Amino acid sequence: MPKSYRDDFPILQNENQSKPLIYFDNAATTQKPYTVLEAIDNYYKVFNANPHRGLYSLSVKATKAYEDARESVAEFIGAKKPSEIIFTRNATEALNLLAYSYGRMVLQDGDEIVISIAEHHSNIIPWQQVAKEKGAILKFLYLDKHGQITEDEIHNKITNKTKIVAVAHVSNVLGTINPIENIIEKAHKCGAKVILDCAQSIPHMEVNVTKLDVDFITFSGHKMLAPMGIGVLYGKEDFLNVMPPFMTGGEMIEYVDEQESTFAPLPQKFEAGTPNVGGAIGLAKAIEYIKTVGYDNISKIEDELTEYALEQMVKIPHIEIYGEINSKKDRCGVISFNIKDVHPHDTASILDADGIAIRAGHHCAQPLMKYLSLAATCRISFYFYNTKEEIDVFINSLKNVRRWLHNGD
């Protein structure tokens, strides 16, 4: 693991902490490299202005930077046109946009929406709400004992009644990589459109929307080195053109009269109000950094870390790991686990005392927790700036958890 990557992240160099930070909560949000922070800082210091609205040079420069960021995203995911890229606050807003704009437009009484039981709440609740409003039926793809969606589930659940299939590319709880190519193929054969939540995948692997022939994808910048408050919705141009706006107001209009309004073309139609220019610039710089590291390198590092962590964790008594632990092919660097007779919050607190940051709770995936007969789990998640040495510290700390709480057991 080249030390140079860690040197690029100021929070990992923080000497004011009582113990070195071991950050294993990358599925929640990633840390930010200097280049991203400097790009955002430079925008606000040098050419902060409202884009698209001013004819003065500062606004023109802000507009160019904002639209250049859109082009960077389009190229990064293989979109055919920059206008197919809609900037949102995050993946949650993008999924709500799709549910309330596209979902309301196409769903009728008795139509079916198919999602997986492992979805994040942001890809469940919007569909619940729209299904109730339109009289549609929400169906779930369930998992096998390895945390996988099987071919039988795909074949049996996606039918000619299905209008929308909305699934995560990667589970934020189990790290499972879902068989999206098979899902997309079956959905399109049945006339359904596919929405792919890439919040957990795009930081770690290539997502090319043209190669996948996926209809919509969503993701958040903050999970891939960019700042919080910037997200992306990609949609095929033909679909976005016919969808009604999600929010209305300034910037997204063509003409406004006393009783009627017409809307701007793509992508402005879906970007009401003052946009997050600094966030978009930060996202473009994050994409540039990820390209420099390279997905092949990112995958290699994370696979090695995940394999090493699993090898060490299974040796610890009283530990239970959820999902597939023997296959590197079908999982990302996310590991959920529990220690017998220890609440996940207690485990996380004890690890925190050693400077180790992990997540504990239901991970915004309560239907999955119920399906697994769990209330909560601990979760560690890696990125390419993590190291095996950090895992060693984590393992040693983990061994002490039951000793702390059960008098040396």
- For 343-377, b where at least 16 C-beta lie within 10 A, e where not — what string? ebebbbebbeeebbebbbbbbbbebbbeebebebb
Rounded to whole angstroms, the Cα distance separating 285 from 69 reads 8
Phi, psi of 350 (to 5 degrees): -65, -40
* Contact residues for 368 (Cβ-Cβ < 8 A; gap 6+): 117, 118, 119, 171, 173, 174
Rounded to whole angstroms, the Cα distance separating 347 from 335 reads 14
Q: Torsion-angle region of residue 134: left (phi > 0), alpha (psi -120 to 50) or beta?
A: alpha
Rounded to whole angstroms, the Cα distance separating 81 from 70 reads 10
Residue 384 exposure: Cα atoms within 13 Å on the Cβ side: 27
364 is catalytic: yes
* Contact residues for 74 (Cβ-Cβ < 8 A; gap 6+): 80, 81, 82, 84, 85
Which residue in 190, 198, 332, 364 is the catalytic one? 364
Give which of 191, 192, 169 is closest to 180, Cα–Cα: 169
Mind telling me the catalytic residues?
Answer: 364
